[in-house]
Structure 1
Amino acid sequence: MTEGETRDRWKRATEIVGVFLLSVVAVLTAWCGFQASKWGGEMSIAFSQASSARIQAANAEGEARSARAFDLTIYASYVEAAGSGEDELADYIRQRFTPEFEVAYRAWLRDGQIERAPFAREEYVPEGTYEAQELNDRADEKFAQALENNQRGDNYSLLTVLFALVLFLTAMSQREIVPWVARTLLTLAGVVAIVGVSILATFPIRI
């Protein structure tokens, strides 16, 4: 086989490998763009859910504050009536205690009234307190999820830059240049492509 035939074979092989790399990497680049877009959408949804949960938590906290204010008012009236010896009025007011405050009040009496008031008891949990805590926890969870989704989208976007490098090296290898330079560029493009595919395989997928 003459030197010219060998050169032609290498050129054809380089062209075939180059076309294959260009085709595969073009598809992978499009896929990364699609995934970056999908994860960006997931980020927006998670941020929206976090904001909604935070608003609901604020409403629940407002409900808890209102419940506490109501219990304070009722208890103050009860103490005033009991202190004035108006037992009938005191009993009437006692019947208006909310279930949450009644539990704390009984525990307070049972333990010898150590605390200054039933409100200091751990049993006292105004209506809306648990809901507010759960909603705040949900908001924190969704916010963290949004940040994670944003990072995933960024990772896919960065990978498109790596694949763009593969496209550049492959395109340069197809130009009329010294054969060993073309082969070197193509080999480097193949190595970068393998690295990119290996990284891509570790990324989560969103359809």
Structure 2
Amino acid sequence: MHTEASAKTPRTSRVLDILTVVLLSVTAVLTAWCGFEASKWGGEMSIAFSQASSARIQAASAESTAQAARQYDLTLYTEWVLAEENGQDELVPFIQERFTEEFAVAFDAWTAEGRVSRGPLAMDEYVPPGTMEAQELGARADAKFDEALADNQRGDNYSLLTVLFALVLFFAAISQHQAAPWRRRVFLSLAGVIAICGIVTLLTFPIKI
């Protein structure tokens, strides 16, 4: 009986050694992979933030164009109102000929409805140049900003996994310094459970190559 027990002990030790080496090797590779993915997603975050900033600047430029066009149309409309009010029949058509295309569309719609609205500038038909571009670029900037935040979270998730796999390496290393086989099995089992949880979690993460 004593001989059989003595024979099982080295055999058990060899099995545990093999399992420990496999676990350490796999965990080391997974840790490196998580570090790589965290770096990649960090790069994606930087790119998305840069694109969001660029789109925001372009949106501001388009909005400035729209405001300048609106101010020009407002100035002409003011002159038209004064000419209309003062009965300057020759000046009225002269001013109307200088309406911008966008304002002319709104002016015609305002006239067609009987001029009951507050003015052509308040009509839905009035869309000065740059308005749509500003809205589209603003929406793009918001989308890129949200994308950057998502990429940042993905990078953080991979970084957290490196901490989890570090625990696997810690418990696996401790198991090698236990004289009693049952203690080795306990620490190695704990490391294995953590590794499995980490791998399952890793499989749910997006991959960026």
Give TM class, smaller chain.
over 0.9
Other-structure match for 1:96: 98
Q: What is the Cα deviation at residue 191 of structure 1?
A: 1.1
Q: CA deviation at 1:80?
A: 2.2
Secondary structure at the counterpart of residue 90 of structure 2: helix
- Is 1:177 paired with 2:179? yes
- Give the corresponding residue for 1:4: 6
What is the CA–CA distance in structure 2 between the aligned matches of 1:86 and 1:176, rounded to whole Å? 104
Residue from 120, 139, 142 that aligns with 2:141? 139
Q: Which position in structure 1 is the counterpart of 2:204? A: 202
Alignment partner of 2:26 out of 20, 24, 27 = 24
Q: Which residue of 2 aligns with 1:165?
A: 167
Structure 1 residue 68 corresponds to structure 2 residue 70: yes
* Aligned position for 1:85: 87
> What is the distance in 2 between the residues matched to 1:116 and 1:164?
69
TM-score (norm 1): 0.97
Q: Output the amino acid matched with 1:58.
A: A
Q: Where in structure 2 are the equivalents of 1:186-197 lying within 5 Å?
A: 186-197=188-199
Structure 1 letter corresponding to 2:17: E
Once superposed, what is the RMSD of the aligned Cα atoms? 1.1
- SS of equivalent to 1:127: coil
Gaps of 5+ in 1: none
Residue 81 of structure 1 deviates from its aligned partner by: 2.4
Percent of residue pairs bearing the same amino acid type? 61
**Segment drifting more, 89-98 vs 13-22:** 89-98
Q: Deviations over 1:32-72 (max 9, x none)?
A: 00000000010111111111111111111111110000001
Asked if residue 46 in structure 1 is aligned to residue 54 in structure 2, the reply is no
1:9 CA displacement:
0.5
| 3-state DSSP of counterpart to 1:204 | coil
Deviation at residue 87 of structure 1 after TM alignment: 2.5
Of residues 186-195 and 26-35 in structure 1, the stretch that sits farther from structure 2 once superposed is 186-195
Q: What secondary structure, in the 3-state scheme, does the structure 2 residue paired with 1:2 have?
A: helix
Amino acid at match of 1:76: T
Q: 2:113 — aligned with what?
A: 111
Distance apart, 1:85 and its partner CA: 3.0
CA distance in 2, matches of 1:96, 1:4: 105
